[in-house]
Amino acid sequence: MDLGGGKDSYLGLPVSHGEEEGNGGSKPRQRYVQKDGKCNVHHGNVQETYRYLSDLFTTLVDLRWRLSFFIFTLVYVVNWLFFGFLWWLIALIRGDLLHADEEGWTPCVENLNSFVSAFLFSIETETTIGYGYRVITEKCPEGIILLLVQAILGSIVNAMMVGCMFVKISQPKNRAETLMFSHNAVISVRDSKMCLMFRVGDLRNSHIVEASIRAKLIRSQQTKEGEFIPLNQTDINIGFDTGDDRLFLVSPLIISHEINEKSPFWEMSRAQMEKEQFEIVVILEGMVEATGMTCQARSSYLDSEVLWGYRFTPVLSLEKGFYEVDYNNFHDIYETNTPTCSAKELSARLKESPSRLDAQTDENPYIYTVLTPTHTLF
C-alpha cells in the first residue's frame, strides 16, 4: 500500500479508479419507482371501491385519456337521451303526438312529433343552440318546469365535465417530463468527505418556483424482534437541516449527500455496498411558474446504478454574455481516485493524518485557474 498519497492510495487507503463493475452485478431487480417516476405498485383486492365514488372528481381526473373521452361522451349522450325521453313523454301524455296536425291544437313544444325530434330538442335546449324550429309554448307548465330542471342540471354537467378535462390537460405532472435526473448516482470524495451525488436539471426556460428535493433509501430490514420489513424507508439528508435542499434550478445542479455519522452509508465500504440491495428514490418538487400548481418529479437509483469512484462531467460553460449548458454531457461521468473504505474509516484516517490531506490532489481535467469565455465552470 502506498502511504505517500499516490494514484493507488488516498491517505494510505486503497482507492477505486472506477474501472470495476458497478454495484450489485448484472442481475436485474424489481424497482419500487421507475426511472421515469412511475411507482411500480399495484393495489389489488380493494374491497371498499365505493371510496372512489366519494371523490368522484379526482377519480375522473385520474382516468386514462381514452377512458376520459369515453365517459365525457357517454355522460352528455345519456343526459340528452334522458331529457329527450322526458320531453317525448310529456308530448305523449298530453296527446301532442296524435293531434300535432290538427288546427287550433297548441302542443307543449312546437314541431315535436317523435322521439327523434324530442332528442334534438333536448340537445338544442341544453347546449343553447336555439335553432328556433322547436319552441316551448306558454300553455305547458310541466314543460316550463322541465326546461328549468334541464337548464340547471345541464350547467352542473358542463361544469363537472369541462372542469375535469381542464384539470386533466393542465396537470403539472406533464411539466415533470422536462425535469431530468442523471442516469447514475456517484460516490467520491468532496472537500475531504465521502459524498453520494446525483445531478438534476430543468430543460425549460420557465423555472420551477420554490423547488425542493428529498431522497429516500428503500431496502429490506429485519428488526431485533425478528420482524421483516420488505420496503423500509429511510431519509437521506441532502440538506434539509441546512436549507441546501431548496434549489434555484436555473442550470443543472449536483445534489450531494454527505456520508456522515447519521447517513445510512456511514459504515459501508465499496465491497459492502456491492453486496447490498437497495434503491434510492429522489423526489423533486416545486411550483410551475406559469400556473402556480405544484409539480413533482421522481426517479430512482438501484444499487447497481450507484457508481463508486466517479464524478460528473461539467456541463456549464461561460460564453460571451451568458452561460451555456451542454446537455450532451448531462449524464457523463469521469473516474476519480476514491478510497474503497467506508466513510467512517476515512474520517478516522483524516483525524489521524490531517497533514497528508494537502497532498491528495485529484487529476481533474475540468479545473481551471483562469476563467475566460468557453471555459468550463462545473
Give the tens place of pLDDT for each residue, 295-314: 999 999 999 999 999 999 99
What pLDDT is attached to residue 365? 44
The average pLDDT across 108-113 equals 85
Q: What is the DSSP string of 319-369?
A: -SSSEEE-GGGTT-EEE--EESS-HHHHHHHHHH-GGGGGG-----TT--S
The average pLDDT across 38-45 equals 84
What pLDDT is attached to residue 355? 54
**Residue owning grid cell 483562469:** 370
What pLDDT is attached to residue 372? 35
For the chain, what percent of residues have pLDDT higher than 70?
86
Residues 6+ apart with CB under 8 A from 87: 108, 109, 112, 118, 121, 122, 143, 146
Q: Domain total for the chain?
A: 2
- When mean pLDDT is compared across 74-78, 85-89, 109-113, 142-146, the lowest value belongs to 109-113
Q: Looking at the DSSP assignment, which residues form a beta bridge with residue 299?
A: 282
Residues 117 and 232 in one domain: no
Residues 261 and 351 in one domain: yes
Top-confidence range, 25-29, 170-174, 214-218: 214-218
Neighbours of 372 (CB within 10 A): 7
Q: Looking at the DSSP assignment, which residues form a beta bridge with residue 285?
A: 212, 296
d(CA 307, CA 44): 36
Beta strand pairing call for 185-190 and 253-258: unpaired
Within-domain flag for 216: yes
Q: Which domain holds residue 343?
A: 9-35+183-359
Is the CB of residue 55 less than 8 Å from the CB of residue 159?
no
Within-domain flag for 319: yes
And the C-alpha cell for 127? 347546449
**Residue owning grid cell 464524478:** 311
What pLDDT is attached to residue 356? 54
Is the CB of residue 249 less than 8 Å from the CB of residue 207?
yes
Residues 279 and 299 in one domain: yes
- pLDDT tens, residue by residue, 304-343: 999 999 999 999 998 888 899 999 999 999 999 889 999 9
What is the average pLDDT score of the chain? 83
Residues 331 and 188 in one domain: yes
Within-domain flag for 280: yes
